[in-house]
Structures are given as C-alpha cells and as structure tokens.
Amino acid sequence: MSIRVSHVHGEHIAVEAPDGTEILRYVYRPDPEAYEARKPYAHPVRTLAGRTVTGYRPSDHRWHKGLQMTASHLSGQNFWGGNTYVHGQGYLVLPDRVGSMRHDGFTGFAVADDRLSFTEELTWVENGGAEWAREVRGLTVHSVDEEACAWALDWAIRLTNVRDVPLTFGSPTTEGREMAGYTGLQWRGPRDFTGGTAFGPDSVTGAEKLMGTQGPWLAYTTEHDEVDGHSTIVFAHAPENLDPRTAIHESHWFVRAEPIPTAAFSWAFFEEFDLPPGESFAYRYRIVFADGAWDADRVAAHLAGLPW
C-alpha cells in the first residue's frame, strides 16, 4: 500500500496512509518547556481508521508525549521529564536534574511505496549542558495493511556513553518505589484508553498482573469514546532484546491501565546497570497499531507474519 511522507524541516515528519489519514507525526522540534525533558516524540499516532492512540501533555503528567524514548533515572539525571523520585522523600520538583535529548540531524532517509525509514542522530545532554551520550535512532513505518486494519512502526536505539565515567541506568523501582520501574521507550495513551485491557501471549490478562513481567510481546486494547469501535496496540521485542547473550540488561514490561494508560519497554525495572565509557548498547522494538479488539491468537498470528 502506498504511503505519503511529508517533512517540515526543523519541525516534524508526517506519514499518511493511502486514503490520506495521517497515521504518524514524528516531532523533533525542541519543546518549549525544559522541565518536561526536551526530546523528540511521536504524536499524534493514529490507526488506519483515524483513531488517535497517543496522548499529549495530559493534565496528570504534562511530560508524557505520545511515544518517546526516555530514561527516568540516569546517573542522577532525569531524561523522562517532570518530578524526580527520591528514596524516602517521594517525587520532588528538581529542575536541575532534568536533562534533554538534542536532535542533531538525519543521516538516512528512504521512502518506498509502502515504507519509510529514517536514521536520526541525537545527543543526551545533562541539565548543566554536559554531553553524556550519543544516540543513533532508527524509525521505520511499514506493513500498512488495509485488510488487517493495521500498520507497524519499528523503533531502534543505539546509545554510546561519551563520558569518562560509567552511565548508570535505573528507575523509580531501583530507587525504592515498588513496581514503578518505568524507563526506556514509553507509550502514553489518550484518556479513553484508561481502564483498557492489557494482555500477553500466555493468557495473562490485566495490567496489574503483567506489571514487571517479561515476554516477547504485550498488547493493550480499548473501546473509544465518541466513535463506535476499538483499537489495539501491540508492543513487541526484537528477538535479540530478550537474549542474554546480546542484551546489555534484561527487559520487563511496565504497564498501567489505571489511573493512566501507559506502557514501556523497561530496560532497568528492578536492577540498575552500567554502560562503561565508550561502550554502547542497542535495542529494537516493534509497535503495531490496529483497529478492532484483537485477542492473543490474532496478535500472535499477525506478528508471525512480520519477520524481523
């Protein structure tokens, strides 16, 4: 299926489905609010039927912006945005701990009839201005399937420590807050995703049961307000992410349906890990955006048809 790609230089890249529905807008223009951890994000993201499946600056967490790469606890800095969790004190307003991810440019950009791929270079900058890490990010829009009512986004990261000391990755849980291990690639859903259903490949259903678990994929489905219909989002790991021989650290799911709808591929849920000076780590993820209320069998069958 042919897609249409537009690029407003210095601001965003947008992708339209064959019928003209904008299904992805990737915004790399710097945010105005430093406290929200300036960084690129994808919003709005829509299904092929035009249902919006990302939230932007919700009243409960203004720093939640669609789909974005984050690091909630990184060597004392917060690349997530907003308040910082401190053991024994709770969440504190600490503006001097909030870092940013600077867009440095695109080094690859390719468009085919049914596929967009681009490579972005970024620098992770701590609050005082020191450059801590270089990131090479790859996004690919593909598998726009009108019959299945679904399309896929692949998101890859390769991060290199440019400091002369290790970078330590953690989360609120590694700081002492139980079952709050959010960090890494994070999705925030719109308000009508609140109370939705999360499920995995092993017949486990419910965000509270899946929180902190591991698995090749996790799905989240809901019924929309205003329009009659459901949407399903599938979050999937590339095989090497879960292989201890290739992953720098094991991943766990962070997922909530109440009081807010959110999910993350957490790379430091229960334990911290260090990235030595000059060293790199890499992860690849796939997110499928679908119309309809999919079940586990349909998710598994669809993913099987999308080889890595």
Q: What is the pLDDT of residue 43?
A: 98
Nearest to 132 by CA among 78, 209, 81: 78
Q: Where are the alpha helices (DSSP H) in the chain?
A: 207-210, 296-304
Q: Tens digit of pLDDT for each residue in 98-111?
A: 999 999 999 999 99
> Phi and psi at residue 216, in whole multiples of 5°?
-70, -25
Segment 85-100 shows an average pLDDT of 97
Q: What is the pLDDT of residue 36?
A: 98
Which residues sit opposite 116 in a β-bridge? Answer: 111, 141
The CA distance from 36 to 302, in Å, is 35
Residue 47, pLDDT above cutoff 90: yes
181-197 b/e (C-beta count within 10 Å ≥ 16 → b): bbbbbbbbbbebbbebb
pTM over 0.95: yes
- Do 220 and 206 touch, CB atoms closer than 8 A? no
Segment 295-305 shows an average pLDDT of 97
Percent of the chain predicted with pLDDT > 90: 97
Q: What is the pLDDT of residue 1?
A: 63
Q: What is the pLDDT of residue 203?
A: 84
Q: Tens digit of pLDDT for each residue in 111-145?
A: 998 899 999 999 999 999 999 999 999 999 999 99
State the chain's mean pLDDT as an integer: 97
More confident site: 113 or 57 = 57
Q: Tens digit of pLDDT for each residue in 184-236?
A: 999 999 999 999 999 999 889 999 999 999 999 999 999 999 999 999 999 99
Q: What is the pLDDT of residue 233?
A: 98
Which residues sit opposite 235 in a β-bridge? Answer: 218, 287
DSSP state of 207: H
Q: What is the pLDDT of residue 247?
A: 92
Residue 48, pLDDT above cutoff 70: yes
